[in-house]
Amino acid sequence: MLGGSLTGPVDSAARPMIPTRIVAYCRAGFEPEAAADLGRAATIAGTELAIDAPTGRGYVVATPAVFDSQRWPRALVEAPPVFVRSLFFGTGQHMLFDAARTRGRPDRVAPLIELVDLFRRDCAIPGLPHSSRGRARFAVLRLETPDTNDGKAVSGLCRSIEAPFAQALRERGALADSSADDKRSDEPALHVLFADGATVYAGASLPPWGSHWAMGIPRIRMPREAPSRSTLKLAEAIVTFLGDREGELLHAGMRAVDLGAAPGGWTWQLAYRGLMVVAVDNGPLKGEVADDAHVTHIRVDGLTYLPRKPVDWMICDIVEQPSRIAALVGRWIAEGHARRCIFNLKLPMKKRYDEVLRCQSLIVGALARTRGKFDLQLRQLYHDREEVTGFVERIG
């Protein structure tokens, strides 16, 4: 049985398209900012949005007044979300069974298959031609939960149904085989979000606007040798912003400056990859990074320090007003002190979105004066708390 907007008989001759919903994951507590991200994209896509974004839920659901499956992906590339970790386009909310009346272990796979069939047949999947309606095949299946305590409570259930659900999808040609040979890069990922044990949303995503990782959360191992958990922030920034280009852009022999380096978690990531790092901080470095031959520790003010010769990378995790860090980053890149930069902006308690936009325009303004070409990206990473991480590079 399907609930929500899909209940009842379906007239196959005059079958209406299901209104498309956008389901977007974010850090719990940042739903207003994730909603603002979607609002910016909606303006570019030329539509209004109704947004359901209760604080603390870990995801928001948006319903565009008009849905154009060509314009939305372009809008998300033009105004990339900062606080949305991952999103998919899909159906509204569906009850797999009536939780109040059902006892024992209800079958979830059969109603999920029914929902996916309906979604393939009656939903516009952005990035796919209309001719693929009803025949869309998915490259991967992602059974997802919100990144909250309630979400963790249903993750065991997701694991238990994943294999039989995937098998049933493969049997009807809806899911590629798990071997790499069988997957195509133009095939979308199939998402099923379990809001709770009986309530789901289903939909599809494609890179670059859909994340490579379930719920937009990359799995990153905490290196035992690193002196702080903050090391995970830089590790995540590297996989997020550099992706396949990591080997080309960040490698042994390059030179870097780490502003606000102590106790050394970010410096460790670079020294581990063989970069020569000047670690700037009045505080002490800890652990093996303090004696690493790749690392030179200097105790000076990171807000005024500049290297004698340009470096490949500047990274900055100084706890300071975000606009000061944005101005610092703009100066380092615009004046050519570094080619690329990864930096963290600590957000204020209020007007967080406005502050991010202000920092973005400060950096863009500084770079625009140089007439060079630049790429700037800002994201709230999984390992970020009340903060966002940025990446900027001079192109050419």
Of the pair 118, 347, the CB lying nearest ligand SAM is at: 347
Q: CB-based burial of residue 7 (10 Å sphere; 0-12 exposed, 13-18 middle, 19+ buried)?
A: exposed
Residue nearest to ligand SAM (CB): 265
- Give the β-pairing of 189-194 and 199-205: antiparallel
Minimum distance from CB of 82 to ligand SAM (Å)?
Answer: 20
Task: Tell me the closest approach of the beta carbon of residue 336 to ligand SAM, in angstroms.
Answer: 21
Smaller CB separation from ligand SAM, 45 or 232: 232
Q: Work out how close the CB of 309 gets to ligand SAM at its nearest, in angstroms, rounded to a whole number.
A: 20
* Closest to ligand SAM by CB, 203 or 265: 265
Hey, how many other C-beta atoms are within 10 angstroms of the C-beta on 69? 17
- What the block records as the tokens of 197 is 């044990």
Q: Which is nearer to ligand SAM, 278 or 280 (CB)?
A: 280
For residues 84 and 259, which CB has a smaller minimum distance to ligand SAM in the complex?
Answer: 259
Q: Based on CB atoms, which residue is closest to ligand SAM, 231 or 389?
A: 231
Amino acid at 160: S
Q: How many residues does the chain have?
A: 396
CA separation for the pair 325, 345 (Å, rounded): 7
Rule CB under 6 A: which residues touch ligand SAM? 228, 230-231, 259-266, 280-283, 301-303, 317-319
Q: Going by DSSP bridges, is the β-strand pair 59-64/49-52 parallel, antiparallel, or unpaired?
A: antiparallel
State which residue, 210 or 265, has the beta carbon closest to ligand SAM: 265
Catalytic residue among 346, 350, 351, 373: 346
For residues 28 and 54, give the distance between their C-alpha atoms in angstroms, rounded to a whole number: 10
Residue-wise DSSP of 257-306? EEES-TT-HHHHHHHHTT-EEEEE-SSPP-GGGGG-TTEEEE-S-TTT--
Angstrom distances, CA of residue 55 to CA of 26, 27, 35? 11, 10, 11
Known catalytic residue at 286: no
Considering the complex, what minimum distance in angstroms separates the CB of residue 333 from ligand SAM?
18
Could you give the 3-state DSSP secondary structure of residue 66? coil
Query: How many helices (H) and strands (E) would you count in the chain?
Result: 10, 15
Q: What is the CA radius of gyration of the chain?
A: 23
Angle at which helix 155-171 crosses helix 109-122, to 10 degrees, equals 60
Please tell me whether residue 358 adopts helix, strand or coil conformation: helix
Q: 173, 137 in Cβ contact below 8 A?
A: yes
Residue closer to ligand SAM by CB (options 192, 259) is 259
CB of 344 to ligand SAM, least distance (A): 8
> Rounded to the nearest whole angstrom, what is the least distance from the CB of residue 285 to ligand SAM in the complex?
8
List Cβ neighbours of 139 (8 Å cut-off, separation of 6 or more): 176, 183, 184, 185, 187, 188, 189
∠ CA(242), CA(246), CA(251), 5° rounding?
135
Torsional sign, CA 151, 156, 157, 159 = positive
Q: Give catalytic residue positions.
A: 346
